[in-house]
Structure 1
């Protein structure tokens, strides 16, 4: 299991938190995604044999947010 912190721009409310965490949690291999609105980050616990950073970035950007 691996952990990654992703910087995300544009998150400001509970809807943002849910959109980003739900999109990441739906990926095969992601076990948990915790959004910190104040810091603009997402801490992701995942299986790096099933999902990679590119897939996580795409899932976030598909929700309309920018990954730094």
Structure 2
């Protein structure tokens, strides 16, 4: 079953940052779609909630060296 979520990332993002974040999100089992808006600093994901949790994607971004905003964060709907 597909879930969607938005992860807000600290700091300005370059095209390279955006590509790195998408690559790290695509490395998580269960990812169905990933897109990063570098202007807003948001990663939008679609994933199979039976294969991965929202926290798995947050951790993938952290593991790539980026900080995420956890206050007022949009979790899966």
- Normalization by structure 2: what TM-score? 0.82
The structure having more radius of gyration, on CA atoms, is 2
Tell me if the contact between 1:11 and 1:65 (Cα under 8 Å) persists in the aligned partners.
Answer: no
**Structure 2 residues without counterparts, runs of 5 or longer:** 70-77
- Normalization by structure 1: what TM-score? 0.92
Corresponding residue of 2:8 = 7
**Structure 1 residues without counterparts, runs of 5 or longer:** none
Partner Cα distance (2:50, 2:68) in 1: 22
Q: Which stretches of structure 1, 4 residues or more, deviate above 3 A after TM superposition?
A: none
Corresponding residue of 2:55 = 54
Q: Would the alpha carbon gap of residues 20 and 11 (structure 1) be closer, same or farther in structure 2, given more than 3 Å must change?
A: farther
Corresponding residue of 1:34 = 35
